Amino acid sequence: MPKRIRLNEKSVREAPLIKGRDYQVFDTEVRGFAICKYRSGNRAFTLDYRSAGRHRRMTIGRWPEWSTTAARERAKELRREIDAGADPLGDREQGRDAPRFKDLIDRYIEEHLPHLAPTNASDQKSMLRKLVEPDWGNRLVAEITPSDVEKLLTKIAAGRARPSKAKPNNRARKLQGSKPTPIRANRTGEVLRKMFTLAVGWKWRADNPASGFRRRLENERERFLSKEEIGKLAEALDAAEDQRAATIIRMCLLTGARVGEVRQARFEHFNLELGSWSKPATTTKQRKIHRLPISAEVGANHRRFRAREALAFWCWHQPRQATRARSSCQRPFWRPRHVGLWEAASQDCQRDATLHSECGLGCR
């Protein structure tokens, strides 16, 4: 078999098999273009060239999927690119090793989220794993466009069907219709904008496709408990077995504070002489010290708990663990279906702080 001929379909088809080794037959028309006959009997068109002093061999395609004429035309195109200074095989390898979006998610979770508050970090991680990774996980970071960002955020804003909280019969759970979630879409857009900013700094892409994403209109939740509902809540709190957890809810109603701020309150944060409560920056949403006046009822509650928990640092600590703050107060008495408040959330206590005095919600 000659080493160099003008390749055609007949010469490629009749190339003999040499047992124990592969060999090439080069084309006389295009420099470096050849047919490679493998010891397995398969054939493939290749192009040999040099780039930056290195010998490179690029596979164009297998025969007979690629005809000799099509492979020669492709070899001519590649040869023109090589003569212009390109490295086609290097570009192909670089694209194969380019970071994908799931790699960006992993690095973002590993390097950036540890600097955020635990709750915020957990929320962002869940958002990325459940809403973004299923759609973009295997895509290259460099190929995401602003239109891709808009399409994804539109899908998130449309919402999805969720299981109903009520159980109509046996253990069946009916699916509710999808509800729009524009706030979730906006938060996802903010996370994506930060991720692509970091990707630009990591040299994973040159621009930020989420820098100008379209923000959806947000309608804040406005749910106020009626006097009747506050009365039901008061009865549930009085009947609760865990009065520490019940008092946390009462404190939310009395002060308008968030549940997490009350759970992590310490005796030293209260100044009864001035009638104030200084919430440290580590517990507030704004990450700033927040001072607010407290009522005589809150002060009396503080004194009773201080006398009862003389050796504790936390006002409401874990049961049988006085050195740890309360981790949760989500007891059955507060779940809406047990109290008859089907749409209320613990955050609504912040908005009803001014109504507690009319319904006698004393703190035990």
**pLDDT tens by residue, the chain, 364 residues:** 668 888 889 888 888 888 888 999 999 889 999 999 998 889 999 999 988 888 888 889 999 899 999 999 999 999 998 888 888 877 776 666 678 999 999 999 999 999 988 888 999 999 999 999 999 988 989 899 999 999 999 999 998 766 545 555 545 455 566 788 899 999 999 999 999 999 999 999 999 999 999 999 887 766 677 778 778 777 877 887 777 777 888 888 888 888 888 888 888 888 888 888 888 888 887 778 888 888 888 888 778 777 766 556 677 666 666 666 666 665 544 554 455 554 555 555 555 554 444 444 444 4
Compute the residue count for the chain: 364
What is the spatial distance between Cα 108 and Cα 199, in angstroms, rounded to a whole number? Answer: 9
- Residue 238: predicted pLDDT: 80
Q: Residue 352 is which amino acid?
A: D
- Residue 94: predicted pLDDT: 63
- Residue 354: predicted pLDDT: 46
On the question of a cis peptide bond just before residue 336, with omega within 30 degrees of 0, the verdict is no
What domains appear along the chain, each with residue ranges and CATH number? Answer: 4-97 (3.30.160.390), 101-201 (no CATH), 227-358 (1.10.443.10)
What is the spatial distance between Cα 5 and Cα 93, in angstroms, rounded to a whole number? Answer: 30
- Residue 24 has phi, psi (to 5 degrees) of -120, 150
Query: Contact at 8 Å (CB) between 40 and 54?
Result: no
Q: Pick from 91, 65, 73: which is nearest to 29 by CA?
A: 73
- Residue 294: predicted pLDDT: 87
- Residue 320: predicted pLDDT: 65
- Long-range pairs, 287-296, Cβ under 8 A, ≥24: 287/117, 292/255, 292/256, 292/257, 294/254, 294/255, 294/270, 295/254
